[in-house]
Amino acid sequence: MFHVPNARYASEVSSLLGLNTVFCKENEFEDKIKEMTADGIPTAIINGAIASNFQRNKLELMCTRLSLLCYSPLWRVEQSTVMEEIIRRKIGAIIVAISAEGLDETFLGKAIDESSNKKIKRNLKASIALISQEKEENMNP
């Protein structure tokens, strides 16, 4: 929903997966979802919110208004667990942004695998968010 790094590649990636991509401005998002679900199908929104209260709350409220289910299967899953699952399932994810002390631009474009995960853990100087989600207003618990 609010992923910024390399968003320009979303169309290519979704095309490779055989999926359609719909782009819209943030203030048009709810109207676009309403339009896409007008016939009653789909009945739910599945999202990748992990730690962002802002994103999850925004989606929950929108889904309530539109009478849709909101499913957040990764919500509050430990970030290290998410990383391990990415590796275990061979998802083929790459690092697209660096915003943590201890990590530099040499990590950009690297595949998330056992080797890179060990380097990330070794280089982190503080407890930080491994999985970035844009638009979080306050990351303090």
Q: Is the distance from CB of 83 to CB of 112 less than 8 angstroms? A: yes
Cα torsion 11, 1, 95, 97 to 10°: value is 110
Q: In the chain, what are the domain boundaries?
A: 7-71, 79-123
pLDDT, tens digit (0-9, with 9 covering 90-100), for 8-62: 888 898 899 898 888 888 899 999 999 999 998 889 999 989 988 988 999 999 9
- Residue type at 138 in one-letter notation: N
Reported in sequence order, the residue ranges of 30-118 that DSSP labels E, i.e. its strands, are 44-46, 69-71
Per-residue confidence band for 138, with pLDDT thresholds at 50, 70 and 90: very low
The percent of residues in the chain predicted with pLDDT above 70, rounded, is 86
Q: Is the distance from CB of 98 to CB of 107 less than 8 angstroms? A: yes
Give the pTM.
0.73
